Amino acid sequence: MKRTKIIDLLDGQLIGQTVNLKGWVRTFRNNQFIALNDGSCLSNLQVVVDYENTEESLLKRITTGAAISATGLLIESQGRGQKVELKAESIEILGDADPEKYPLQPKKHSLEFLREIAHLRFRTNTFGAVFRIRHGVAFAIHQFFHERGFVYLHSPIITGSDAEGAGEMFQVSTLNLDNVPKNEQGNVDFKKDFFGKATNLTVSGQLEAELAALALGQVYTFGPTFRAENSNTSRHLAEFWMIEPEVAFADLNDDMDLAEDMLKYVMKYILDHYQEDLNFLEQRLADEEKTKPQNERSPLPLKEKLLFCVDNDFERLSYTEAINILKNCKPNKKGQFQYIIEDWGADLQSEHERYLVEKHFNKPVILTDYPKNIKAFYMKVNEDGKTVRAMDILFPGIGEIVGGSQREERYEVLVERMKEMHIPEEEMYWYLDTRKYGTCPHAGFGLGFERLVQFITGMTNIRDVIPFPRFPGNAAF
């Protein structure tokens, strides 16, 4: 008999029919009531066992974590809480889970502990909800761009360039590390390496997206990116997924509109389609917040927070305006910031971003026109010669969620910037070619996928929204 998923049974349409269920036992009470979960939704379905007519040896094997198949009549639920339950006629154990050894006993486990058993944490309510929503976020992003006629571009994962010019790259090589070939100058001879040159895992697909956008008009990437930065924070991963749209004939305002529309579209999609999981995560977050001091708690419950972001315009202001606010704010004057803002030109730290978003404006903020010295080489230089057409979107509790810009489309200006920032011109001839042949204004941005999933699920640590997080000192599983 073909199995029916729990999500398809809950509405009660199949009451009175014989169905087969397959899933994992969450709990087994009184030798009678199995709470079964099959991952199709948060809810378990209660399977009622006729224990008087079931062999003792079988009952003993119905333990937390075991995989079972249950066939029987779907009936209206006798107890409270759920509409339907399964009156089991036969039960088969598909896979035992030794109760003496199974690490996920039905009690509250800390997220830290669950991270250590990340291969099993999918089986908890929290991670089931997080990963269903993660899927929903990815799907909504693809749908958003598809509806607007964007082409999904698969940019390479192994590259020979550093798109951000920040040097935070993982090297890719098949050279024997115990006996590395050297050239006449005594440096590593990458000519002997697999690709005949030095290569690395990509930090961003933007440069390739630009090449495609300048022919296809509107493209986006959605793939893994890698940063070898030694950041041990709740917002950084060494391997994360990024969405990078790139649009020809667009300026920074178009870019900001696109990013804001996309974020709102995705949040609305999740509010509309993931009610049950969101309700659960909202309660989880509320419980977690109770353990925090009052002033660190978020002012809104999870769903209201998302709705607020969907319904309100993001605040747009320039870096220069932001610096003036920060210079004169209380925590700066009283020395409460770790990094005191003294002069225009300072790079904003997360404490500053959070002050603007969480204390000053109380809503998502888009900062524009940053000093060129703290931004990447490809951003369009403003007429003042000091700032670039950059934008960062800052979210409450997260900080930077999107970074983007209008691109420098003027060949001479771009070459000048590359010289200033020591970007090797010869190696980047292909990028410069787009500015030689049919260049045009264009813009794009990068969205950190996990940071958005974090915001939507209310999970405090980014390591809890990706199946197997990679961070300094950890590549388990």
**Residues sharing a CB contact under 8 Å with residue 125, sequence separation 6 or more, in sequence order:** 42, 280
- Distance CA(214)–CA(29), nearest Å, equals 63
Q: Does 458 bind ligand 4AD (CB under 6 A)?
A: no
Query: Which of the stretches 55-63, 83-91, 368-376, 395-403 binds Mg ion when contact is defined by CB under 5 A?
Result: 395-403
Give the residue, chosen from 242, 329, 348, 428, that forms a contact with ligand 4AD under the rule CB under 6 A.
242
Decide whether 128 or 404 has the Cβ nearer to ligand 4AD: 404
Checking 265-269 for CB contacts under 8 A at 24+ apart, the result is: 265/140, 265/144, 266/137, 266/140, 266/141, 266/144, 266/452, 266/456, 267/306, 267/309, 267/310, 267/456, 268/310, 269/136, 269/139, 269/140, 269/143
Smallest distance from ligand 4AD to CB 370, Å: 11
Between CA 288 and CA 285 the distance in angstroms is 5
Tokens of 74: 């779907």
Cβ proximity to ligand 4AD, 240 vs 269, nearer residue: 240
Which residues, at least 6 apart from 51, have a Cβ–Cβ distance to it below 8 Å? 31, 32, 59
Site for ligand 4AD in 243-262 (CB under 6 A): 244
Q: How far is the CB of 272 from ligand 4AD (least distance, A)?
A: 24
Backbone angles phi, psi at 226, to 5 degrees: -135, 135
Cβ–Cβ contacts within 10 Å for residue 102, how many?
15
Q: How far is the CB of 339 from Mg ion (least distance, A)?
A: 17
Phi-psi region of 408 (alpha: psi -120 to 50; beta: other; left: phi over 0): beta
Q: Smallest distance from the beta carbon of 375 to Mg ion, in angstroms?
A: 8
Q: Which of 223, 364, 403, 469 binds Mg ion (CB under 5 A)?
A: 403
Tell which one of 451, 454, 455, 458 touches ligand 4AD (CB under 6 A): 451
Q: How far is the CB of 403 from Mg ion (least distance, A)?
A: 3
User: Is 403 among the residues that bind ligand 4AD (CB under 6 A)?
Assistant: yes
Residue 458 partner contact from Mg ion, ligand 4AD, none using kind-dependent CB cut-offs of 5 to 8 Å: none
Please report how close the Cβ of residue 238 comes to Mg ion at its closest, in angstroms.
16
The 421-450 site mask, x for binding ligand 4AD (CB under 6 A), equals -----------------------xxx-x-x
# residues contacting Mg ion (CB under 5 A)? 1
Q: Is the dihedral of CA 264, 269, 275, 281 positive or negative?
A: negative
Q: How many helices (H) and strands (E) does the chain have?
A: 13, 16
Residues making contact with ligand 4AD (CB under 6 A): 163-164, 204, 206, 227, 236-237, 240, 242, 244, 400-405, 444-446, 448, 450-451
Residues making contact with Mg ion (CB under 5 A): 403
